[in-house]
Amino acid sequence: MSQTNILLEAGTNELEIVEFYLDETMEDGTVYRGFYGVNVAKVLEIIRLPKVTEMPEVSHKSVLGAFNLRSCIIPLVDLAIWLNKKRVEKEPPKVIVTEFNNVTTSFLVSGVNRIHRISWEEVEPPNSYVSAMTSNTITGVVKLEGRIIFLLDLERIVSDLNPQLGLRLDSAVDWSANTRYRALVADDSTVIREMLKDLMQKANFDVDAVTNGRDAWERLLEIKRIAEEEHKKPMDYLQVMVADIEMPQMDGHNLCKRIKEDPMLKELPVILFSSLVTDKLRHKGVSVGADDQIAKPEVTTLAHRALLLIEKKRGPK
């Protein structure tokens, strides 16, 4: 499957998702088909189920083993088992091979429908009830062609399976400083948002956190209004914006583009902190004027570069 998303212009607030499904057996014996989605930018290819070799001492029963794909050993996760569903095979299953956070992982699903191009405005954030019922594994909800499609937080699944891939701050670094700066963080993952907020605070930042780009933009407009009233600059109130790229309502690229096109806000440093920051996709962040782009989970790098950008923007004291 080709990565057609690379052709999408950055900053248009659009994305392409691969729609797939899981067939599960219900308690009454009926078969239910649930629909899910993943950003095409994370998908390398979709293949038939290959020969899988069991792995010793796996961390979770959903890890079925690993297979060899063009000299690359890739672990296979049964998504139904991870989601505590009883998958039933009505047809030969498919395997979605993904790459994000510099890690290649594959997921076993019942089948794949097709690719949809949509606006992030069509993606609704899950309410607190849905989040609680799904252990925060759902980052967005899309209604397409009479179906409800849940966007899965694959980053959460992979980091739970391998904690070493989670966010972490280098404790050997001395983060003490005389000046604390204020950061606005936008990330749709509840777990990542709270962890990032905690780690950035330890790195000498006071942090406000929001769930998507639209909320961040509204917060920035409020800061701009106050700055105008008090004849100050927005950077007197906020020193850095840290944004994920994938977010409901407004993505990080569109948010960054808006900031850099605003006469008052354009001086605010914007860092895109996302699993989608790769060599293939870095040009998108450049095109919308991002001051820096850092791949998750490098929080230490994020904190260091944020400080450097702030000092550069503020100039000599």
28-78 tens-digit pLDDT: 889 999 999 999 999 999 999 999 999 888 878 999 999 999 999 999 999
- Answer yes or no: same fold for 4-163 and 167-314: no
pLDDT at residue 271, as a whole number? 97
Both tokens of 267, joined, read: 């001086």
pLDDT at residue 76, as a whole number? 96
pLDDT at residue 42, as a whole number? 92
Residue 165: burial class (beta carbons within 10 Å; 0-12, 13-18, 19+): middle
pLDDT at residue 1, as a whole number? 44
Both tokens of 280, joined, read: 């293939």
pLDDT at residue 3, as a whole number? 44
210 within 8 A of 219, measured Cβ to Cβ: yes
Domain definitions of the chain by residue range: 4-163, 167-314
Give the CA dihedral 92, 16, 301, 77, nearest 10 degrees.
-10
- Closest to 20 in 3D by CA, of 84, 114, 146: 114
CA 303, 308, 311, 312 dihedral sign is negative
CATH 1.10.20.60 fits 4-163, yes or no: no
pLDDT at residue 2, as a whole number? 41
pLDDT at residue 243, as a whole number? 96
pLDDT at residue 269, as a whole number? 96
> What beta strand segments (E) does the chain contain?
14-25, 31-39, 43-48, 63-69, 72-78, 94-100, 103-109, 111-119, 138-144, 147-152, 181-186, 205-210, 240-243, 270-274, 292-295
pLDDT at residue 209, as a whole number? 94
pLDDT at residue 68, as a whole number? 94
- Closest to 52 in 3D by CA, of 93, 11, 84, 85: 93
pLDDT at residue 171, as a whole number? 66
pLDDT at residue 131, as a whole number? 67
What's the CATH superfamily of 167-314? Response regulator (3.40.50.2300)
pLDDT at residue 281, as a whole number? 80
Task: Collect the ranges in the chain with pLDDT lower than 50.
Answer: 1-7
315 within 8 A of 119, measured Cβ to Cβ: no
What's the chain's Rg over C-alpha atoms? 21
